[in-house]
Chains A and B, each alone.
Chain A
Amino acid sequence: MRWFPAVTLVVSFVVSLVVLGLLGAGCGSESPATPPPVPPTVAATAAGVAESLERDLIDEAPARGLDYVNRSGTAEKRVILEANGAGVAVLDLGNDGDLDLVFAQGAPTLDFTDLPGLEVFENDGAGRFRRRALGSSYTAMWSTGLAAGDVDGDGDDDLVVGGIMGLCVYLQGTDGALALRNGAIPTELFTIPRAKGRALSWFTSLALFDADRDGRLDLYAGRYLDLDVGAPPRTALGEGALAIPCQWKGHTVFCGPAGLTPQPDIFLRGRGDGTFEDATASALPGHVASFTLGVHAFDADGDLDTDLFVANDTSPNLMLINDGRGVFTDFARAAGVALSSEGRMQAGMGVASADVDRDGKLDFAVTNFSDEPTELFLGAQQGFRRVTNTFGLLRETRSLLSWGVHLADFDGDGWLEMLTANGHVYPQADEPMTGTRYGQPATLWRLGPERRAIRIEPNSERSILHAAIGARGSAIGDVDMDGAVDVVLARIDAPAALGMNRTSSTNTRLALRLLGPTLPTPSAPRTPRDGHGAKAIVVIEVGAAEHALFAESHTSAGFQSSSTPWLHFGLGSARRYEKLIVRWPSGRVDTFEGGDANARIVVREGDGVIERAPFR
């Protein structure tokens, strides 16, 4: 059976809730008298017209004060450490409702003498940024992955930071400043015993989520490989007659990951006070080390707890299914998501999930190396169904090496687009006849309703879809609070990009923030204070045009990055939504009457809608 044998397949709560909602006489809202017009995007593509809609992601980073410049070693990229770049976190510092940015940072050389701290940018509420000092209490290190969430349950976002040598926790104070929480992570996890001494941990992507539904955020930390920074392998692996040169398409390139030693991932159980304990042995029994690059926490099997997809480089991916108590078993092979469609190990990078086909089940995408497709898997009755080739994604993505990925409704038409942050790891990609390039622009595709990836071309040279500059980390969030999700790209060895979502469409939207209760409920299961894992259905229209949109609150999509926990729904031409249904991780289900579109709504478990405001 191609699925998770130990999991009793629960009919997606979405389906049952939608049905419940439709039947509930007291919960309905007014019906529009006439069916809605077909959204313009759908009409255009149905008529076979090429994508030329007036929409784009314009890079306004310099104008908006975002002057982060990434440093990832030397431009020649002679060592694998220099290739993976940094992540970015979109989070709310100061609890003022707008989204601020924190970037990880590397160093210009590998001598590790000039190690940086994080770089923090504070939003003025209108999407303009200014640098904010990190404070005196921080760890200088070559940082890589970031994960935002309320790890101490005090109602604001905190930050977990991974990198070379370490993993640390920054707690947000009442003034919005991030301060290092000493002793938050067991330090023995920073190195790994080896036959010859100890290897430094190399953390990549991190995911904060509540594994055991106790209301406290836990952490999955991906690790990459052993690297002797002082004497990294450079042109060949092995010695003598059996040495294997490190080559790609005939060009000498940096060595790895193949031939190097992978590091095991770790699972840390949150104590709820900003500190964590190592629970790897009990939570990940039988875990086998692999070259982890991407980690994404989402409810893969629809049984209401949170599972994990781990994208591995040159090794099989993991689909870690939660038994409900925070113990994970890998079912990737049985689910058909471990390898390529023909059994090849790929170079998994970033992961994102969302309901692409609007069937109430979460689907997910995984980015890969050049000559490999970005894979798309649709949630099926059992497991997942690979639709990469039928969506045309091999053709669309094989020349790209993609990292961050996001499934979001950028144009508000009710169907999701897929955005990938791209860029090759080898500068040698610019040599003739490689079929790819080193610098690559971000790319955006429509995925529905045609069930075919249709690339959206940039309309402007200022678009992040135009500039061929490699990126690694990426995150999404509505930084100017106009209701449309924007994109932050952590480009490698280059200034960050801030792709402001500009569209002339008249589609309406809804932004939703789901929060757990201020005071924890007496017994588990509980919803985390920041709402991680909460799910929502927005019912739109009634009658023949009725449909529902489904989303889950999580932050780990992308690569080494942390996106907004806000849920963004595109309502197309609808002026209002008819119903909102929320399923909390505690098990509680709330149904709310509809309302006007183009609103930001905050819902707290137990308190209902606590804030409603129009977009700016």
Chain B
Amino acid sequence: MIAMLLLVLAACVEPLQSTVLPVSAAQSSPPRDAAAIATLRAAWREALELDVPSEVLAGGAWIESASDADPELLALFARALASAGLAERADALLGQKSAPPIALARARLALDRDELEGAIRELAPPAGSTETVRFPAVPEAFLLLGRAHARAGDLARAEPLLVEFVSRAPWHVEAPQAWFVLVDAALARGDSSGSASREQSRAQSAEWHAFYRARRVQVRANPSETLPRLGLAQLWLSANELERARAAVESALAIDTRFCRGLELAAEIERRAGCVEDARSRADAALACDSKLVEVHLTLARLARDAGDATTSNVHVARYRELGGKKEL
């Protein structure tokens, strides 16, 4: 318990550096330390997710001659090559290396070529294994093996793999696609209630990702604007991904320290993270910034409630309602 508290406190005083808002996909030489590698991975991943493989290719020309490149960077670069129509160079880059990201990238290439058996061979567990995939620690392995089976028409095999994938990586950018196949799998089994429930999950996931994509595009197009970053923070908060939400809102506040709605959201993020003092100070700053803010009163009401101060909580709830707030305490 104490350890957990310490972790929370640590998270309160030192917000994570943004890995959802990478600064640049360009890197003239191999990144040296873990932080630089993590930043570049995030940047390349985002470039691929937003279908700008040229950013990866332009920013990572060094990788094809590097002897000890990070396997995930190598895999992302190979995916960028394939996406740019340079699949043969991707093949050469990946070779037969056995690291999980490399094998996954090979499986993706196989899927792009409709080599379904090849993708299955790449990701199926070795004979005698009790695992369902070759790399059970990597959620994407479940996705890709499930996808290969589904494309081959074998929904029965695909289904458990994709169930595992969405439970392990619910916010993965390809989660909506996994949910879609799961809906089909339930339909194929005649499970109409299961398909309806999965369809609801698919729709929610798809909507969330559509906003997520749009917000990232807006951030890239208008990097000095705070609103798209606020939107990103709201999305992550709705996903209960507090560290990512905090990183997004802090990036907005770094642009404008008097960004009132950013302060308001930061207060709620800190409250949800258990950082009571930070939450209070951000809420106070938000109200000082703009006295007509609505949601901050709900945050303050909840903080007071959690501190056992019902009177103060009621005051804030009343103000919240007065300003048109509808949510329950």
Contact = CB atoms under 8 A, between A and B. Distances in A.
Contacts of B218: 241-244
A595 to B, nearest CB: 41
Contacts of A336: 184
Contacts of A390: 114, 116, 151-153
B175 to A, nearest CB: 11
Given A342-B147, A392-B114, A435-B85, A244 B214 contact: yes
B190 interface: yes
A344 interface: yes
B188 interface: yes
Interface size class of chain B, counting residues whose CB lies under 8 Å from the partner chain: 35 or more
B84 A395 contact: no
A176 to B, nearest CB: 48
A398 B112 contact: yes
A399 interface: yes
Interface in B138-155: 147, 150-153
B171 interface: no
A343 B202 contact: yes
B225 interface: yes
Contact of B114 (A395, A399, A436): A395
B1 interface: no
B55 A250 contact: yes
A385 interface: yes
A539 to B, nearest CB: 31
B116 A343 contact: no
Contacts of A432: 54, 84
Contacts of B184: 2, 336
Contacts of A385: 153
A244 B231 CA distance: 14
Contact of B85 (A244, A342, A399): A399
A394 B114 contact: yes
Given A398-B112, A433-B57, A245 B228 contact: no
Given A2-B188, A249-B51, A392-B114, A241 B226 contact: yes
Interface in A213-256: 236, 241-245, 247-250
A433 B217 contact: no
B176 interface: yes
Contacts of B19: none
A341 interface: yes
Interface in B156-191: 174, 176-181, 183-184, 187-188, 190
Interface in A427-450: 432-436
B153 A394 contact: no
Interface in B43-89: 51-55, 57, 83-86
Interface in B80-132: 83-86, 111-116
Contact of B187 (A2, A371, A394, A399): A2
A72 B106 CA distance: 42
B275 interface: no
Given A342-B177, A342-B180, A342-B181, A433 B85 contact: yes
A567 B29 CA distance: 62
A248 B54 CA distance: 11
Contacts of A243: 218, 221-222
A390 to B, nearest CB: 7
A339 interface: yes
Contacts of B151: 341, 389-390
Interface in A486-505: none
B38 interface: no
A391 B113 CA distance: 11
22 contacts: A241-B222, A244-B214, A245-B217, A245-B221, A249-B52, A250-B52, A250-B54, A250-B55, A341-B181, A342-B180, A344-B177, A389-B116, A389-B151, A389-B152, A390-B151, A394-B112, A395-B112, A433-B57, A433-B84, A434-B54, A435-B84, A436-B85
